[in-house]
Structure 1
């Protein structure tokens, strides 16, 4: 199974809504039901992708903070700078996936 994707989830959510609407307009209950299911699956994939992104952001923040502190303690400015950058990247990723 591939990783969840916000893009794929949004596509399936939208297509499912369209199928449901068309099915309802034309009285095609099976099509409307398949549309509801596709929409729900798309919404679930979006939530899963956001959760995965948030966890990855948390990991980046923790590792970045550790690298920053170790770099500061040992006087390694390169490690400290890289740690700060990774921590900031993690914060942005968490914010994007709230």
Structure 2
């Protein structure tokens, strides 16, 4: 993982990495009086935080989709008497709820 990694999908892990590395670079720059290190560290930290937040929002949205889709499957299963569909819908709904809770914006 590096700050030069390009990915079409935001990543919480990559965002955290870049945030921490940026903070470390900034501290190093401050310690040695290196303005370029300080500035580069600030920029990397901000980019890391932005990527982390974008990934968090995306995962929360995916949880919302799973939760709604699970509820629909559960209701459809109940209406049609398909216990397997109802159970699978409940599992998907619960998975979405957990994903939302883990990614509160």
Please say whether Structure 1 and Structure 2 have the same fold, judged by a TM-score greater than 0.5. yes
After superposition, give the CA deviation of every residue in 1:34-87 in whole Å (9 maximum; x if it has no partner). Answer: 000000000001100000000000000000000000000000000000000000
Runs of 4+ in 1 over 2 A off after TM superposition: none
Equivalent residue number for residue 28 of structure 1: 34
1:46 matches 2:52: yes
More helix by share: 1
Structure 2: which 5+ residue stretches go unaligned? 1-6
Equivalent residue number for residue 23 of structure 2: 17
Equivalent residue number for residue 100 of structure 2: 94
1:81 matches 2:87: yes
Question: For 1:83 and 1:22, how far apart are their aligned partners in 2?
Answer: 51
Give the superposition deviation at 1:2: 1.9
Q: TM-score, normalised by structure 1?
A: 0.98
CA RMSD of aligned residues (A): 0.6
Equivalent residue number for residue 61 of structure 1: 67
Structure 1: which 5+ residue stretches go unaligned? none
Question: For 1:85 and 1:4, how far apart are their aligned partners in 2?
Answer: 26
Aligned length: 98
Q: TM-score, normalised by structure 2?
A: 0.92
